[in-house]
Amino acid sequence: MGLPEIVIDLEKIKSNVRTVRALADPLGIEVVGVTKGVLGDVRIAEAFLAGGITTLGDSRWENLQRLRQAFPDVSLMLLRIPGLSQIERVIRWADISLNSDLEVLQALSEEALRCNKQHKVILMVDLGDLREGVWPQDLPELTKRARLLPGIRIIGLGANFACYGGLIPTVEKVKQLVELADAMEGILGYSLAVISGGNSANLPLVLNQTIPQRINQLRLGEGILQGTESIQRRLLPGSVPDAFVLRAEIIERYEKPTLPLGETGQDAFGKLPKFTDEGWRKRGILALGRQDVPLEGLMLRDQRLRIFGASSDHLIVDLTEAGELALGSIVEFNLSYGGLLGAMTSPYVEKRYV
């Protein structure tokens, strides 16, 4: 056993895939299984596929390369809009990519022709979250020019919600996406195969069955990995929240005051920490730090404990109400999506599959 470690329950992940598909399938919505939160982990991707996913999506070409080598016949989607420096890798490792820039599309066209391939493209429109995507009034011109490019085929229109600006995908916003897709089809002269309505933020619309009928794809990571929608982080009916559990060891245990002794200034991260005088408390230091996981992404499974704070390599926990925890004891955490992303990316957190 290597500590810290993240324990990954593959059966719970499969179960969450089936739960999400049971919601999406009756509405004619394809679920793209997003693996970026788990570093394109092959065993987790295998659980996605076992649960019935047929397309995997990731934001990094390095992860797509790993997935392609493991699953040569599975459709792979690049989620982050590509840069000009990545064109060769995109054509090599991805079947589909999300795009918003004509110059990039021209480069993809040229590379696809050179490789004797046809690359599938979903154009991205910005409906107000202010991350990637062409502005709606500029979409017709982009469509007119992109449709003439050989080597690529525009198969769909997509949008993103609640990632940068926190924009909620209301029924009205998603209907706007459908209306833009209708206009695109008039320019293209054919029907779009995909209207990619968003991510786990769209799951409330799926739950109450108010998502517009033409939306036929969602790109889901958090909804599967953690069983939650990403607006209010509510657990989806039938899902489990603890497919991933982070475990760390107590490496020091002393009773100490809750106020630093002397003049204080910035901490190692340039912040001015604030302290409340609670007298002396039993404090445990865990072998886990901000280099491994964002502090905000940790949720203690033992409700008697409390997090005081963290530095790069040390997490300080109040053990006062759990006096039996000794040096070498293990403390467990559930994780937010950001916490999961950090823990799975850290090379210092061992991954253990059950």
What's the pLDDT score for residue 113? 98
* Nearest-angstrom CA–CA distance, 343 and 334: 11
| Residue 1 scores a pLDDT above 90 | no
pLDDT band at 175 (very low <50, low <70, confident <90, very high): very high
| Residue 38 scores a pLDDT above 90 | yes
State the architecture of 244-353 in CATH terms. Answer: Beta Barrel (2.40)
Task: For Cα atoms 115, 117, 121, give the angle at the middle one, nearest 5 degrees.
Answer: 120
Which residue is it, tokens 């991260």? 269
What's the pLDDT score for residue 323? 85
Q: Does an H or E element contain 185, and which?
A: helix 171-188
Write a three-state SS string for 253-265. EEEEECCCCCCCC
Asked whether the beta carbons of 323 and 282 are under 8 A apart, the reply is: yes
The closest alpha carbon to 33, from 11, 51, 15, belongs to 51
Please count the other Cβ atoms lying within 10 Å of the Cβ belonging to residue 131. 16
Query: Do the domains at 10-225 and 244-353 have one common CATH topology?
Result: no
What's the pLDDT score for residue 103? 98
Summarised one tens digit per residue, pLDDT across range 189-207 is 999 999 999 999 999 999 9
Summarised one tens digit per residue, pLDDT across range 111-130 is 999 999 999 999 999 999 99
**Interval 89-99 mean pLDDT:** 98
How is domain 10-225 classified at the CATH fold level? TIM Barrel (3.20.20)
What's the pLDDT score for residue 268? 86
**What is the four-CA torsion angle of 241, 242, 247, 252, rounded to 10 degrees?**
50
| Residue 53 scores a pLDDT above 90 | yes
pLDDT band at 64 (very low <50, low <70, confident <90, very high): very high
User: From the CA atom positions of the chain, what is the Rg in Å?
Assistant: 23
The share of the chain scoring above pLDDT 90, in percent, equals 97
Summarised one tens digit per residue, pLDDT across range 268-325 is 889 898 999 999 999 999 999 999 999 999 999 999 999 999 999 999 999 999 989 9
Q: Where are the domains of the chain?
A: 10-225, 244-353
Which residues form the catalytic set?
Answer: 36
Pairing of the two strands 119-124 and 152-158:
parallel
* Nearest-angstrom CA–CA distance, 326 and 99: 53
**Interval 160-186 mean pLDDT:** 97
